[in-house]
Amino acid sequence: MGETRKRIAIDMDEVMADTLGKMLECYNRDYSDTLTIEHLHGKKLRHVAKCGGEVSKYFDDPLFLRDLKVLPDSREVIRELQGRYEIFIASAAMEVPASFAAKYEWLKEHFDFIPSTHIVFCGDKSIINADYLIDDHAYQFERFRGQGILYTACHNVEETRYPRVNNWREVAEMFLK
Amino acid sequence: MGETRKRIAIDMDEVMADTLGKMLECYNRDYSDTLTIEHLHGKKLRHVAKCGGEVSKYFDDPLFLRDLKVLPDSREVIRELQGRYEIFIASAAMEVPASFAAKYEWLKEHFDFIPSTHIVFCGDKSIINADYLIDDHAYQFERFRGQGILYTACHNVEETRYPRVNNWREVAEMFLK
């Protein structure tokens, strides 16, 4: 059965987990700023933050990723997808080695129906053998062997090379109709 | 360039790292036993250990994997392979989530020429998109899309379905001649 079902690999940050929401919250608190998602259209937080690239320091805290909010409908839709596809979670966790444990625990808490065998922490996602990859980073699609599906995030709104989904309802529309 | 070179994925435990050696050392010390590699021909340690499956408790120590010995010639041969192939390290780390950090640090210490982008912690290795997978677990080859190369370990000596290498000199022979 696993051999015949198509395979979908799904990114975590900004696709399943509201990483940016927590970044904004921490940044606004620490720098007395009032940035919102709307300020980030087409940009990354580090391009508009008072502290520039230093915002990435939040990732140094091993617990930063532990209490991220689950993005709307992701749990329900992924569970439904699992009925028809083989689902793998593929996170570029190697960028932030301190985050391995927190990422794994977050998945176990919120997506306990994904078996550990189907969780992948990697860097370059061209190593992923799947038919589809749902990700907010278009550069991950360039060498990916399957079809990249761009999940909308502030930083990728100008990208036009790939099919796009704006939310999990649209993922359901694309894969479950 | 990355697109044209063939890709080799390499397992860590029992292929790059002497996990069994350390297991035996700890087990013999704690159970006053004198087991050697020779006692394990065709078997797993848990099948001959006085404590049975409990030997796997050593993996619960997050530091157990941190000071494993590097298997002979693996560093030199992998470095050479990197000149001709795209090399990924693919470890079934999801079986022992407590080990993520130790595994990553071990790789950074002993194989610092492998970029983080090319390290993968996974479970089911059929998710690996590579031409070859060098691994001591034959079950990982069953759904793998490329060619599995079995790296000899005590537990797999009876396995005959896949090309076999007994050490890293034989890997060099296979891939670098």
Picking from B101, B124, B128, the nearest residue to A117 by CB comes out as: B124
Q: Does residue A2 lie in a domain region?
A: no
Tens digits of per-residue pLDDT, B160-175?
A: 999 999 999 999 999 9
What is the domain count for chain A?
2
Tens digits of per-residue pLDDT, A1-40?
A: 445 899 999 999 999 999 999 999 999 999 999 999 999 9
Q: Does residue B33 lie in a domain region?
A: yes
Residue A93 CA to residue A62 CA, distance in Å, equals: 12
Q: Are residues B163 and B101 in the same domain?
A: yes
Count of C-beta atoms within a 10 Å radius of residue A156: 20
Q: Are residues A51 and A94 in the same domain?
A: no
Q: Are residues A35 and A54 in the same domain?
A: yes
**Pick the catalytic residue: B11, B18, B135, B136?**
B11
- Tell me which chain B residues have a C-beta less than 8 angstroms from the C-beta of A65: none
Tens digits of per-residue pLDDT, B112-148?
A: 999 999 999 999 999 999 999 999 999 999 999 999 9
Q: Does residue A122 lie in a domain region?
A: yes
> Count of A–B CB contacts within 8 Å?
87
Of A32, A119, A80, the closest CA to residue B125 belongs to A119
Of B136, B80, B151, B70, the closest CA to residue B108 belongs to B70
Picking from A9, A117, A127, the nearest residue to B130 by CB comes out as: A127
Q: Which whole number is the average pLDDT over A157-165?
A: 97
Q: Are residues B27 and B41 in the same domain?
A: yes
Q: Are residues A80 and A51 in the same domain?
A: no
Q: Does residue B121 lie in a domain region?
A: yes
- Contact between residue B107 and residue B91 where contact means Cβ atoms under 8 Å apart: no
Chain A contact for B104 (CB, 8 A cutoff): yes
Chain B contact for A101 (CB, 8 A cutoff): yes
Residue B159 CA to residue A54 CA, distance in Å, equals: 52
Q: Does residue A114 lie in a domain region?
A: yes
A13 annotated active-site: yes
In the sheet where A119-121 sits, what is the strand order?
A164-165, A147-151, A132-135, A7-10, A86-91, A119-121, B119-121, B86-91, B7-10, B132-135, B147-151, B164-165
B127 to chain A: nearest residue by CA?
A: A129
Count of C-beta atoms within a 10 Å radius of residue A92: 20
Q: Which whole number is the average pLDDT over B46-61?
A: 92
Residue where one domain finishes, among candidates A60, A75, A91 = A60
User: Mean pLDDT lowest for which of A95-99, B21-25, B26-30, B37-41?
Assistant: A95-99
B43 pLDDT higher than 60: yes
The verdict on a CB contact (< 8 Å) between B143 and A101 is: no
- Tell me which chain B residues have a C-beta less than 8 angstroms from the C-beta of A140: none
Class of residue A113 by CB neighbours under 10 A (exposed 0-12, middle 13-18, buried 19+): exposed
Q: Are residues B168 and B96 in the same domain?
A: yes
Of B103, B121, B94, the closest CA to residue A115 belongs to B94
DSSP state of B33: -
- Contact between residue A87 and residue A14 where contact means Cβ atoms under 8 Å apart: no
Q: Are residues A138 and A84 in the same domain?
A: yes
Six token digits for residue B116 = 């983080």
Q: Does residue B1 lie in a domain region?
A: no
Per-residue model confidence (pLDDT) at position B2: 46
Per-residue model confidence (pLDDT) at position A3: 57
- Tell me which chain A residues have a C-beta less than 8 angstroms from the C-beta of B8: none
The verdict on a CB contact (< 8 Å) between A121 and B122 is: yes
Q: Are residues A51 and A132 in the same domain?
A: no
Q: Are residues B28 and B113 in the same domain?
A: no
CATH number of the domain residue B119 falls in: 3.40.50.1000
Q: Are residues B96 and B149 in the same domain?
A: yes
A60 annotated active-site: no
User: Which residue out of B65, B105, B116, B131 would a mutagenesis test of the A interface target, given it has the greatest number of A Cβ atoms within 10 Å?
Assistant: B116
Q: Does residue A1 lie in a domain region?
A: no
Give SS3 for A89: strand
Per-residue model confidence (pLDDT) at position B3: 57
Range of the domain at A31: 19-60
Q: Are residues A71 and A146 in the same domain?
A: yes
ipTM exceeds 0.90, yes or no: yes
Q: Are residues A95 and A143 in the same domain?
A: yes
Tens digits of per-residue pLDDT, A113-138?
A: 999 999 999 999 999 999 999 999 99
Instruction: Calculate how close chain B gets to A38, using CA atoms only, in Å.
Output: 31
What average pLDDT does the structure give for chain B? 94
- Contact between residue A163 and residue A150 where contact means Cβ atoms under 8 Å apart: yes
The verdict on a CB contact (< 8 Å) between A116 and B128 is: no
Tens digits of per-residue pLDDT, A62-106?
A: 889 899 999 999 999 999 999 999 999 999 999 888 889 999 999
pLDDT tier, B96 (very low <50, low <70, confident <90, very high otherwise): confident
- Contact between residue A94 and residue A121 where contact means Cβ atoms under 8 Å apart: yes
Q: Does residue B27 lie in a domain region?
A: yes
Picking from A98, A124, A129, the nearest residue to B127 by CB comes out as: A129
Percent of chain B whose pLDDT exceeds 70: 98
